[in-house]
Chains A and B, each alone.
Chain A
Amino acid sequence: MAFLEIDQLHKQFGDLPAVSGFDVDVEQGEFLSLLGPSGCGKTTALRMIAGFERPTSGTIHLNGRDITNQPPNRRHIGMVFQSYALFPNMTVADNVGFGLKLKGMTPADARRRAGELLELIQLPDKGGSYPYQLSGGQQQRVALARALAIEPQVLLLDEPLSALDAKIRVELRAEIRRIQQQLHITTLYVTHDQEEAMSLSDRVVVMNKGFIEQVGPPFEIYNYPRTAFVAHFVGQLNVMPVRVVDAAAGRVALGEQTIILEPPLAANGQAVTLAVRPEELELGAAEGHNNLRGLVESVNFLGSIVRVRVAVDGATLSADLFNERLLTLPKAGEAVTINFPAHAAWVLEEQG
């Protein structure tokens, strides 16, 4: 039995289903991210786990205990909000110690514990400050310490980094992962930022229109997307409309050019969509690889990566090249060959 069992959770707002068939087991100490676009139901799912929304149907078990209909203040679940939600009338130390005070801890013990948590979030000197005196990043650290103070069985984070600037976001996400691993706390993290989900999580739940599209480790989600939505939503993707020429041999045609894939494929003559990640494409011809001829449309320098867009028989393919000082870049309009190995491409299923 998993530590947190979410079984066929369903939530309906009026006629509108927000979450359908949400079915996930989370192991103790695991870091699970709910990833998806706005309105996909990820926050609603999290709020049902926190107890702020009552599921229309389905159950939630935490450590063997049915918490589906328990009020939020009896669930032993900590939550960090996007807007920090620090109590403005309390100092940082009082915010962190609030849950402990409610638990009946003596003021001295609550202060000591709050001090330990402020050390953990590397803000030991801010105990006497008020939230309005802190930066966004500092406020979110305090919110994290406050949620951890009550030693919750599960920690929920609802887009905690969305309101912060890029640099702080990267710093704080490493901090969140460090603390999560240090405390070995089961964590559910809602985000629409795939990079955040990929870099933080043990497993990622990709959601779309209230449904789970795929659950798996980041490597699997990225490299073996099970649905067209996941393939498109996670990372960059090149798509090519091709026609199956020889299914048994794995041969398809992109216009006049031939591509060899790993069989089996659909029936001969069928039109399918082929997908390949930009980082799998290389400039130039390579033996044993699929070599496609095309014209360079644009070259974009992105720092560590250079993105070359090539028009190939009705499809535009992006090739991401690692930047290096000696790299020779093609020019727009130049005829080039790009190559990728047979195993790098796969046939996308039709999107429903």
Chain B
Amino acid sequence: MATETVAVTESTPPARRARAGAGLLTWLGVVPFFLFALAFLVAPASYLFIGSFQTLDGQFTLDNFRNLNQPIVVEAYKNSLQVSFATALGGTIFGFLLAYAVTLGRAGRVRSGLLTFSGVASNFAGVPLAFAFIATLGRIGLITTMLKAVGIDLYQQGFSLYSFAGLSLTYMYFQFPLMILIITPALEGLKREWREAAENLGASSGQYWRYIAFPVLLPSLLGTLILLFANAFGAFATAFALTGGTINLVTILIGSQMRGDVLRDPGLGYALAVGMVAIMAVSITAYTLLQRRSERWLKR
């Protein structure tokens, strides 16, 4: 394909020069973004990538990736994948049901309130969230104590906020609101006429959902599931503040390789991070592709 390069010279006609100037100005507007991305995304990712192939004294090595096979690393990935998948699935189902209730169901009156809550809750994570849950469901938390007073001892019955289940429950606090925020527009995109046309052609409500609504929503649902998965996979502060590192997650393991306690091995930390970046990149790509497909359907 041939391309034309426009050189702005003194002999260039004024209109053409103005167009070229406007083009440059447009690009100038996005320069801060590119600088930001370069400084805080591309450069650290490159640094990680290069570091994952280096020893402590800067020699090339593949040992960092070989060390990913260690049981502690495999367990970290397994735990991270499990907690991410469980909370993504839980958040997808619970969030979908709530979004359905306020868009297509009979709870339309609380739609605005729920969306506002979701906007706040989906961004409420890290140390404050961990302490909120400790204050509520910790060993001497408000709800734990109240339930104990009526004869239900959560911790006696095997529940612990500092376990896998507790961590999952805490993650759910920001997972399902994110689902609500993303799936609500998709549910609103389901046209009333699709349901009516289906009914008109003889479909029951179940058949409408099976053949039309669910397939139309599927890319959005899968895309959001992936996004929620990535959201939980990358979480560090909440898990660290809640469990103090007793649950072995990839992010916590990376932290301990970098902080330089007993386990200090930055090379392994970089390799772990590269593995995470790869998983996140696959997730985000899949999300983008699914969202694009969903938008194509819902736009028309």
- Flag if B199 contacts A71 (CB, 8 Å): yes
A225 an interface residue at 8 Å Cβ cutoff?
Answer: no
Size bin of chain B's contact surface: 20 to 34
Chain B's nearest CB lies how many Å from the CB of A122? 22
Chain B residues, CB < 8 A from A149: 201
A83-B191, A98-B211 in contact; A77/B203 too (CB < 8 A)?
Answer: no
- Which of these, B193, B204, B215, B299, contacts A73 with CB under 8 Å? B204
Chain A residues, CB < 8 A from B203: 73, 98, 102
- Flag if B202 contacts A103 (CB, 8 Å): yes
Max count, chain A CB within 10 A of own CB: residue among B197, B199, B202, B215: B197
- Flag if B197 contacts A85 (CB, 8 Å): yes
Chain A's nearest CB lies how many Å from the CB of B292? 12
A132 an interface residue at 8 Å Cβ cutoff?
Answer: yes
- Which of these, B201, B204, B298, B300, contacts A150 with CB under 8 Å? B201
Main secondary structure of the interface of B (DSSP, over half): helix
Which A-B residue pairs are the 8 nearest by beta carbons?
A99-B201, A85-B193, A88-B297, A85-B197, A72-B199, A102-B202, A89-B215, A81-B193
A102-B202, A102-B207, A103-B202 in contact; A85/B297 too (CB < 8 A)?
Answer: no
Complex Cα distance A185/B188, Å?
Answer: 35
Complex Cα distance A79/B216, Å?
Answer: 22
Complex Cα distance A35/B287, Å?
Answer: 47
Which of B's residues lie within 8 Å of A, judged by CB?
Answer: 191, 193-194, 196-204, 207, 211-212, 215-216, 296-300
- Per-position 1/0 for A73-84, Cβ under 8 A of B: 110011101010
Chain B's nearest CB lies how many Å from the CB of A336? 52
Chain A's nearest CB lies how many Å from the CB of B173? 33
A83-B191, A88-B297, A88-B298 in contact; A73/B200 too (CB < 8 A)?
Answer: yes
A346 an interface residue at 8 Å Cβ cutoff?
Answer: no
Q: How many residues of chain A have a CB within 8 Å of chain B?
A: 29
- Flag if A89 contacts B297 (CB, 8 Å): yes
Identity of the chain A residue whose Cβ is nearest the Cβ of B214 in the assembled complex = A89
- Flag if B196 contacts A85 (CB, 8 Å): yes
- Flag if A89 contacts B202 (CB, 8 Å): no
Identity of the chain A residue whose Cβ is nearest the Cβ of B215 in the assembled complex = A89
Other 14 A-B pairs with CB < 8 A, given A79-B197, A98-B211, A132-B300: A50-B200, A72-B196, A77-B200, A81-B196, A85-B196, A87-B197, A88-B297, A89-B216, A90-B212, A102-B203, A132-B296, A146-B197, A147-B201, A150-B202
- Which of these, B191, B196, B297, contacts A52 with CB under 8 Å? B196
Chain A residues, CB < 8 A from B200: 50, 72-73, 77-79, 147
Complex Cα distance A78/B200, Å?
Answer: 6
Chain A residues, CB < 8 A from B204: 73
Chain B residues, CB < 8 A from A72: 196, 199-200
Chain A residues, CB < 8 A from B193: 81, 83, 85
Interface residues of A in 12-60 (CB under 8 A from B): 50-52
Identity of the chain B residue whose Cβ is nearest the Cβ of A83 in the assembled complex = B193
- Flag if A85 contacts B191 (CB, 8 Å): yes
- Flag if A73 contacts B199 (CB, 8 Å): yes
- Flag if B300 contacts A87 (CB, 8 Å): no
Chain B residues, CB < 8 A from A146: 197, 201
Chain A residues, CB < 8 A from B297: 88-89, 132
Chain A's nearest CB lies how many Å from the CB of B188? 15
Chain A's nearest CB lies how many Å from the CB of B226? 20
Chain B residues, CB < 8 A from A89: 212, 215-216, 297
Chain B residues, CB < 8 A from A50: 196, 200
Chain A residues, CB < 8 A from B212: 87, 89-90
Complex Cα distance A113/B164, Å?
Answer: 56
Chain B's nearest CB lies how many Å from the CB of A61? 19
Complex Cα distance A146/B200, Å?
Answer: 10
A-B contact pairs, 5 of them (CB 8 A): A85-B191, A85-B196, A87-B198, A103-B202, A143-B197
Complex Cα distance A73/B299, Å?
Answer: 27
Complex Cα distance A8/B212, Å?
Answer: 36
